[in-house]
Amino acid sequence: MLRTAINQSVRQFSASASSSIKCHRLEGKVAIVTASTEGIGFSIAKRLAQEGAKVMISSRKEANVKRAVEELKCEGLQVAGTVCHVGKAEERKNLFEKTKTDFGGLDILVSNAGINPTVGPVLDSDEEIWDKIFDVNVKCTYLLMKESLPLLKCSKSPSIIIISSVAGYQPFNLLGIYSISKTALLGLIKATTSELADEGIRVNGIAPGIIKTKMSQVLYESEESHELAKMNTSMRRLGMPDEIAGTAAFLASDDASYITGETIIVSGGTNSRL
């Protein structure tokens, strides 16, 4: 009993101490984070800015962009924002142009935007749903990567981070098309790694498990589904957006200078691969 209490106290102290440590690994760098007004994207944008980066916030709705920018500016962070639906070419173009105008360049691209408008068996899905999910989750990620290259090639330490999912390794029940699109992102990371290595651009991914966000709420909103989701992890709990943000900051930093073509699973020990 005493040993357990001591161990718990040590863990709590360590967590508190580590959260108070301010890293500045990203000083002088500029980042774009798509879909960054809430959830995982917002947490990543906040963490990159806390570590010294100038961050361009983006999302589909202007009100959400303004709210997120104001919140982070109130914390003294260097951020700006713009509306960007990643499926619209003109808005993607404006995203990169505004980043260059406001911050002078680009070092880090975090492709976080993704959708899942359907729940149900894969083979019962309409063709339009397949097109919509793959257009946003896969094609638009590719386009963002391609369109970021003119700026990233001017960076001394460029990095692309793609947010996939543990579902890309082990499909979620009734979320088959979404899961397949996330598997495709794993392939995109591998396929572009060697192509961009000669330019000095690192390409990596993060595969979150079930993280408590609005988008994943269907996976844990009932007591039964919440318990089942927890039981599928070794740590017996769901993740929080901030736990993805730390991994993104690491991959964006020079601490990961010899890492490319990899996808880090952040899932609390969810069964995914050997």
266: left (phi over 0), alpha (psi -120 to 50) or beta: beta
> What is residue 53's three-state secondary structure?
coil
Strands laid side by side in the 159-163 sheet = 79-83, 54-59, 30-33, 108-111, 159-163, 202-208, 263-266
Nearest alpha-carbon partner for 141 in 87, 180, 102:
87
Q: Residues 142, 178, 220, 258: which is the catalytic one? A: 178
> Is residue 178 annotated as part of the catalytic site, yes or no?
yes
Nearest alpha-carbon partner for 208 in 7, 76, 43, 47:
43
**DSSP code of residue 210:** S
Beta pairing partners, 161: 110, 204
Tokens of 88: 């619209």
> What is residue 85's three-state secondary structure?
coil
For strands 54-59 and 159-163, give the pairing.
unpaired
Which residues are within 8 A (CB) of 45 and not within 5 positions of it... i.e. 6 or more apart? 31, 33, 36, 55, 57, 68, 72, 79, 110
Q: Which residues are catalytic?
A: 178
